[in-house]
Structure 1
Amino acid sequence: MSTATTASVSTHILDTSIGRPAEGVAISLAARTGRGGEWVALGGSATDADGRCKDLPALPEGTTHVRLDFEVEEYFTGSIKTQKQAEAQQDAPRVRDSGAFFPEVAITFAVTPGEHYHVPLLLNPFGYSVYRGS
């Protein structure tokens, strides 16, 4: 939870190529204070069966910028594919045989103390988009 002096962050990933959550994707979180500040790695987690990452580390007081790093290469190459994903991909185009076009996705955004930031990643083998959710 955020307080008046800190912001909080959550995220989830939807694989739009199969219309399902992306499970097992490692996510790391870093923060800095001010534009010229040094990035401080805070830790990370991985997405659950719903594609959500519910246990990201808390942001330190004074955080002004946050970076989420999504390690998607193993997801797309099948190293962490679940049975549900394998079944869903049977009907999906066979575009993943060439590996991961984006092996990682890094999203950097500004935060304001006391606000919560939900930043979903909509992912497919050859593109992605993000937005500030609720």
Structure 2
Amino acid sequence: MSRPVLSTHVLDTTSGSPAVGLFVDLYKQRDESWTLWHSTTTSGDGRVQFPFSQDSMAPGTYKLKFNVEDYFKKNDKATLYPFVEIVFKVSEGAHYHIPLLLSPYGYTTYRGS
């Protein structure tokens, strides 16, 4: 099986463990608006491998929306951020791994491998 075009991994840095069951929405930018393209939740190890091939995920601008507040509420924690949005550009033929290191009062992201 070929490598997915897009994947993410969310780690809850307050517990030092994967963020399990966090809702993630993928949007594609069309003109000046965003179109919801896919909704999912993180797996038991905090990961999502989106089911898109190079043919189905065209180059363009995309956004991952992580529903942080719902995740922290399930874990009896307050958070400053109701959601985290990460906007990125996709080029033809590339793989994108977008990790999110998450705490109730901060987050970090980068392009993974």
| Conserved? CA contact 1:31–1:39, under 8 Å | yes
Rounded Cα–Cα distance in structure 1 between residues aligned with 2:81 and 2:26: 18
In 1, Cα distance between equivalents of 2:46 and 2:21: 8
* Distance in 2 of aligned mates of 1:127 and 1:42: 26
Which has the larger helix fraction? Answer: 1
Identity between Structure 1 and Structure 2 (%): 39
TM-score by length of 1: 0.72
Give the partner amino acid of 2:22. Answer: V
Counterparts of 2:37 and 2:97 in 1: how far apart (Å)?
17
State how far apart, in whole Å, the 2-side matches of 1:14 and 1:77 are.
16
| Match runs of 1:61-76 below 5 Å | 62-76=58-72
Match of 2:73 among 69, 73, 77: 77
Partner of 2:16: 19
Selected match of 1:125 from 85, 104, 107: 104
Question: Which runs of at least 4 in structure 1 moved beyond 3 Å after TM superposition?
Answer: 59-62
TM-aligned CA deviation for residue 102 of structure 1: 0.5
Aligned to 2:37: 42
Q: 1:37, CA displacement in angstroms?
A: 4.9
Q: Which runs of 5+ in 2 are unaligned?
A: none
Question: What is the CA–CA distance in structure 1 between the aligned matches of 2:29 and 2:51, rounded to whole Å?
Answer: 14
